[in-house]
Structure formats: structure tokens, C-alpha cells
Structure 1
Amino acid sequence: MKLSPVIQGCMTYGKWGKQLSTQQITQRIEANLENGISSFDHADIYGDYTTEAEFGKAFKASKINRKDIQIISKCGLQLPSKKRQNQLKHYQYNADYIIAQAKQSIANLECDYLDVFLLHRPSPLMQSDEIAEAVEQLQSQGLIKQFGVSNFSLAQIDYLSASVEICYNQIQISITHLDAIESDHLYGLAQRQIQPMAWQPLGDIFKLSPNARLNKMLTELCMKYSITEAQLALLFLNKLPFDILPIIGTTSINRAKLLVDTQQLDIERQDWFKLYEASRGVEVA
């Protein structure tokens, strides 16, 4: 099972974003598939536990063959909501809950199975045997194909890996969030044969002040390569030798296509280091 080189993040499709209609979501699913984006990222909590079902309704209306797309979802992060009896934000990873939530996401998304099922964030109370039991049952029943995590450290991954195979770690990494690059995290994932997904892969480039060092470098290199700032930010990640799968959050069909087209582009090594230095604020040692 292979995910598309660019993944469409669906968090802003619903209540937490553009509040797209069923028809509008269907249009985006179809256009993304036509443009090379076949993988769609969800979490049970998106839209206050509503966006999965809205996507599922639109997917059903699209008449697209289930085998032509890959659906990712996450569970475990519990939010205070009228839909849940939660007094505060917390995590839940007992086996019964993981199984029940995977089945609920499948029902919401009207998709029969999940291609990738992730734990949303690590919990101090998580137990590897409970999680392994749930994943094994879900996989044996054909309800999930691959299992992974999101926002987990290497130590937390090793703790779980003793009991269950982990295929992905969804992390925050971008031109403005360098922690995974500056540390040994990406090397550690490569050693463990775990593929990284990048959430918010464009970082905070659209929040930079006009006079910011990084903003000036982005402007200079965008002119040199005749590309957009978003494309350049994605090229910064693409240059890293770790096969990072970016999860883009745009609801614009045209912008999504531009970001897919970025996969065919490249920047020079020294220009990559210019961006790296501008983001860090200091030159490399």
C-alpha cells in the first residue's frame, strides 16, 4: 500500500475551516484524485467530531472506487464536546476504545476500512499491550491496513514497537519548525523504517513580518525559481532525504495542484542552506 506523494489534510473542510458543502467536498476529492492526490488525512476530532461524516457523505456521492484512494484517520485525543462526556482534554488508548473509535471513523467516512490508523498524541497512561491488542484485532478483521502514530518521540515509538509494527509518524516539521531536522528524529525514523508525515508543512511562512530574515530569503528565491512561497516551503522539505509525506491543508483545488507539481521541481543545495540559515538565524557550524 502506497500513499500519494502529497496528502490532502481535511481538517479545514468542515466546521473548523471553510465549512464546505457536500458538493464542494466531492469536487475537491475528485479534483485531487485527478491531480495526483489520492490520500486524505482525517482525525476523529476534526470539526468537533463532525468532519469525518461530512467527508464520508461527499465521498459516497463521488462514486469514486474505494481502492483508488487512501484514507488516514487518528484517534485518542478526547476533547470537551457536546458529543462526548469529557470534562477536559485528555487521551484514551485502552483496547476497547481504540477498536470502537476505528469502527466509528470507518462508519463516518463510509469507507469500509482505513488504510492508515494513527494514535493522535502520546499519552502518559498508554500501555503497549493494550494498543497492540487493538491493532491486531483491527488488522485481522481487515478494518485497518497499516498502523502508525502522530507526534511521538523515538523513545515512545520504541516502547510501542516492542509490541506492534509502526509504519508512520506524523510530525510537525517545516521551514519554520526545525526541531525534527536539528535533532536525530528523522535519522531515528529512517533507522526504524518508519516514514514521516509532515503536518503543517508550510509552517508559519504566511505569518512572517515583511522585514523578517526568512521572508526576505523566500522572496528572493521565489523570484529566482519563478515559484510561489508555498512551493518553495515544500521544496525545502522535499530536499531532505527522508521521503517525507507533506499533509497540505489548503481547500483550494488550484493551490493543491501547484503543491503537487512541486514534486517535479528542485532547488540548488546552497539555496536550501540559505533558507535553513535564514530560519535558524545563525549559519551552520
Structure 2
Amino acid sequence: MDRISLTPDVTFSRLVYGMWRLGDDKDHGPQHVRAKIDACLDQGITTIDQADIYGGYMAEEILGDALTPSLRAKIEIITKCDIVAPAGRYSNARVKHYDTSRAHILASVDHSLRLMKTDYIDVLLIHRPDPLMDHVETGTALDELVASGKVRAVGVSNFRPWDWTLLQSAMKTPLCTNQIEISLLEYGAFTNGDIAFLQERGVPPMAWSPLGGGSLFFDTKHASLLTALKDVGAAHGTDETAAAIAWLLAHPARILPVLGTNNLDRIARIGDAAKINMDRETWFEIYTHAIGEEVP
């Protein structure tokens, strides 16, 4: 499995296992969670994506119950903060909102460290742009976390370029990634400047929901696209899921897809995407099916 450097000291596996559905599994006991992580490690997938809000603020604890010191040493953990929803430890919140205050960020990190039973987080992301963000306060808090050793690197999620530059302007620590929605059903980032902005700066984007939440495979309006993906997958001894992910991997921006499934057989096949070396014309054939027309 290829690896991508986010900072001189932090590298991720090119494919990332996402745990946003971890709490949805009927069996989320430590042994079963370890089996999922082991299935990832068998393919060279070492990077785990979490967030404080996942599973109604329970997914981090589920992961923490499964971690041993030796297993923690084999993986990188991403987590996120700033979404406050009326659930879990925030059940008394009157309204869903964002909180990028220093106090909230520091408290969230301490919660995450305790729940995941770890001394450090590899990468902390601000989960959503906050309309009330004081960029100096937020940036200073992120710098403080890196300096403390609680967090090795920091980034953002769902930020637009102007959100990024605002926050970065108040920071000493370089932001290392932006996790945004990218897929064959959500391809706007390729043309609206989001990916170009990161690519210009040498910052690898992370792609959440890289399979379009599954609708890519079940909605009949995507039939021609699905057929094209099946053909590409079959030509490389794999399937349409691998082809859809390989389409993202082929982009020079060094996109890191975040894939979440609770099915052990599917987890074991995540790495199949690396088997496909997609050429330019194949990439555009798939893109043409996705947008529903020939490029201009």
C-alpha cells in the first residue's frame, strides 16, 4: 500500500478506513472491532478515521475499548471536533451548532484521548466551517495542541479555500489536509477550485463518502456509469467498487479516499483499488458517464 506524507513526521496509508458507521454494527465488541482493524492492516491500510460525533459521540469509545498498546502503535488515528448536536454528552444542547472556541477544542481533544485510550491523536480536523469562528482563537488553540504533543498535526474538513486561508493566517502550524466530499456522484471539487487550491499547495485532500453513500450502486439513474465501472473492474480482476476508488486515486492531487463499511469481507477488499492503474482516457470515459455528457 502506497503511503502519503501529510507532514515530515506524519504519513498515512493511501486508503483510509472510516469508522463513522462503527456504532451501527450489532456487534461492536472489542474482538470484532479488532478483526476489522486487522483486516485493514493485512492490506497495509493503517489509517483510521474517527470523529467525536460519530455514533452519537460513542464511536471513539468503541474504538478505544478495542485498542491495545501494540495495536495503537500500528495505526494512525484521525479524529474531528466542533460539531455540537443534541446527543450523547451534548444531549442538553438546544440546537445543533458548531463550536471552534479554544475551550471547546481543548476539551474535545481531552475527551477523545480518554475515550480512545491513547496519549496522542495523529491528525485533528476541524469538522465543519464555523460562521462564528474567531480564527485567531481557533488557530492558537490548534497550535497549542501540536506544541503540547496531544496532536501530531492538524487540518480541516469541509472547508472552502477562503475558510482555509482565514484559519491558516492565524497559525504557526501548517494545515495538513482538508477532508471533503469527493466521488463520481459529487465531482464538483474537481472544477470548483477546492482540489486545485490544495494541489497548488501540495496538500493531499481526503475524500469522504467516495462511493456516494452507496447510491452509486443502487440508483438506476447511474446504470451506465455502473456498467463502465464494472467493465474496468473486471478487466483488472476486481469489481466496480475498486474501479470507483481507483478513479480517485488516479488524480495527481494524491486524494486519500476514506472508506467505511462494517462488512469484514468488504473491508478485506478495500485494497483492490490499488490493483487498477487507470489511464487518462479510461478516467475521462468514467467521468463522461458521471456527468452525463461529453466534456466541453
Q: TM-score under structure 1 normalisation?
A: 0.93
1:68 aligned residue: 74
SS in structure 2 at match of 1:195: coil
Q: Is the CA contact (8 Å cut-off) linking 1:210 and 1:216 kept in structure 2? A: no
CA-CA distance at 1:256 after TM superposition? 2.5
CA-CA distance at 1:200 after TM superposition? 0.9
Q: Is the CA contact (8 Å cut-off) linking 2:36 and 2:267 kept in structure 1? A: no
Relative to structure 1, is the Cα distance of residues 86 and 170 closer, same or farther in structure 2, using a 3 angstrom cutoff?
same
Relative to structure 1, is the Cα distance of residues 183 and 13 closer, same or farther in structure 2, using a 3 angstrom cutoff?
same
1:110 aligned residue: 117
CA-CA distance at 1:65 after TM superposition? 4.6
2:142 aligned residue: 135
> Are residues 1:152 and 2:159 paired?
yes
> Are residues 1:33 and 2:44 paired?
no
What are the superposed Cα offsets for residues 35-56 of structure 1, whole Å, 9 maximum, x if unpaired? Answer: 2111110000111111100110
SS in structure 1 at match of 2:125: strand
> Are residues 1:47 and 2:55 paired?
yes
CA RMSD of aligned residues (A): 1.7
CA-CA distance at 1:275 after TM superposition? 0.7
1:273 aligned residue: 284
> Are residues 1:230 and 2:237 paired?
no
For 2:56 and 2:46, locate their aligned partners in 1 and report how far apart those are by CA, in whole Å: 25
CA-CA distance at 1:64 after TM superposition? 2.2
Percent identity between matched residues is 33
Range moving further from structure 2, 177-186 or 121-130: 177-186
What are the superposed Cα offsets for residues 175-232 of structure 1, whole Å, 9 maximum, x if unpaired? Answer: 1110101222111101223220011112231232177332232233334333211101
2:65 aligned residue: 57
User: In structure 2, what residue type is equivalent to 1:34?
Assistant: D
Unaligned runs of 5+ residues in structure 1 are none
CA-CA distance at 1:100 after TM superposition? 0.8
> Are residues 1:185 and 2:194 paired?
yes
Q: Is the CA contact (8 Å cut-off) linking 1:11 and 1:17 kept in structure 2? A: no
User: In structure 1, what residue type is equivalent to 2:272?
Assistant: D
For 2:233 and 2:221, locate their aligned partners in 1 and report how far apart those are by CA, in whole Å: 15
SS in structure 1 at match of 2:286: helix
For 2:133 and 2:260, locate their aligned partners in 1 and report how far apart those are by CA, in whole Å: 29
For 1:219 and 1:256, locate their aligned partners in 2 and report how far apart those are by CA, in whole Å: 19
> Are residues 1:263 and 2:271 paired?
no
Relative to structure 1, is the Cα distance of residues 260 and 148 closer, same or farther in structure 2, using a 3 angstrom cutoff?
same
SS in structure 1 at match of 2:202: coil
For 1:222 and 1:35, locate their aligned partners in 2 and report how far apart those are by CA, in whole Å: 18
For 1:146 and 1:274, locate their aligned partners in 2 and report how far apart those are by CA, in whole Å: 37
For 2:262 and 2:184, locate their aligned partners in 1 and report how far apart those are by CA, in whole Å: 21
For 1:18 and 1:190, locate their aligned partners in 2 and report how far apart those are by CA, in whole Å: 40
Range moving further from structure 2, 119-128 or 24-33: 24-33
Range moving further from structure 2, 155-164 or 28-37: 28-37
2:131 aligned residue: 124
